[in-house]
Structure 1
Amino acid sequence: MLTTLEQTQQKWGGSNKLIDQWLNNRRVLLVQYCKIAGLAPYESPGRTLPELEEVKTFCDLLVDYVSEGHFEIYDQVVSTCENISDECKARAHLVIPRISKTTDAALDFNDKYSEAKDEELLYDLDKDLGALMEAMESRFEQEDTLLEIVYTNVAEPAAVVQ
């Protein structure tokens, strides 16, 4: 997922401050995911469960990322599409519901772990992270598709999100 993010940043990075911030927030989210999942370069031979506070930090980042997309990015991108053409608008409106389907997985994960007080809950973490990241990977792909729709139809990338 980090490799795909790097490709996305290479493709659209620097074209718009808000998009850059959003993609950077995706990177921060993915790095925290790697930490709590014990993935490279954060893996350890005698891997133990992450600290509950690390999981809660991930939850905060997750909700912030999902919210930023829904309440800042998508509306502005769709609005830009509406100004470009009916085809661009129609394509964007097909993608948004696919992104929205993944929101429940993020919110369910957050509901389970953000207010957790019992560390025994962490025994479910690997399974729950796997399901969450499957949904988030789909979300990232759809978000990238949304950016692709806009950037292939607009002459000035800085005009995408104002």
Structure 2
Amino acid sequence: MLESCQNAQERWGGVHKLIDRWLLERHELIQAYDTLGAHPDALAEKQKPLQEFCGSLVDYVSAGHFEVYEQLTGEAKAFNDKRGLELAETLYPRIDVITEKLLAFNDLCDEGKCVAEKFKELGGLLHERFELEDCLIEVLHTAHKQKAAVQA
């Protein structure tokens, strides 16, 4: 997962400060996941790091939904990018499903019911979400960057 995060930063770093910050938050989230995942059976003993991870998880998910996705969709509309808007319409529902599962994990942890099995499932969900987000960023920003250069 960390490698794909680094590849995303190399491809889109500097394109937009919001996305740069978000990709940095993703990188930090992955590092925290990997640290906790080294011994997932001992999650009960790692309450403070687990709470910090969950806080980062909620912050990352929220930034995606309330900042980054809105920005990407807004750019697609501004550039009349039908392909990008269609992609967003296709991918957002799956991202929403993943979001619900991520937030349900956070709720479990808030209730003190975080178990290793759910934590391991979280890794697959995060990986899928990152791939979907990368697809959105690549299609929308690549198209817009090229259109902006033509208009300039």
Shorter-chain TM range is 0.7 to 0.9
- CA distance in 2 between counterparts of 1:157 and 1:51 reads 48
Match among 49, 53, 56 for residue 54 of structure 1: 49
- CA distance in 1 between counterparts of 2:46 and 2:84 reads 45
| Alignment map for 1:85-124 (pairs within 5 Å) | 85-116=81-112, 121=113, 124=115
Q: Does the Cα contact within 8 Å between 2:84 and 2:139 map onto a contact in 1? A: yes
- Name 1:75's counterpart in structure 2: 70
Q: How many residues align?
A: 147
Structure with more helix by fraction? 2
Identical aligned pairs, as a percentage? 35
1:137 match: secondary structure: helix
Runs of 5+ in structure 1 lacking a partner? none
Q: Deviations over 1:20-59 (max 9, x none)?
A: 10000001111111111117xxx9xxx8544111111111
- RMSD of aligned Cα (Å): 2.3
Q: Deviations over 1:56-83 (max 9, x none)?
A: 1111000000000000010110111112
Q: 1:105 to 1:157 in 2, by over 3 A?
A: farther
Runs of 5+ in structure 2 lacking a partner? none
Cα deviation, residue 8, structure 1: 0.3
Using the size of structure 1 for normalisation, the TM-score is 0.82
Q: 1:132 to 1:48 in 2, by over 3 A?
A: closer
- CA distance in 1 between counterparts of 2:92 and 2:36 reads 29
Q: 1:36 to 1:111 in 2, by over 3 A?
A: same
2:143 match: secondary structure: coil
Q: Does the Cα contact within 8 Å between 2:84 and 2:136 map onto a contact in 1? A: no
Cα deviation, residue 152, structure 1: 2.5
- Name 1:151's counterpart in structure 2: 141
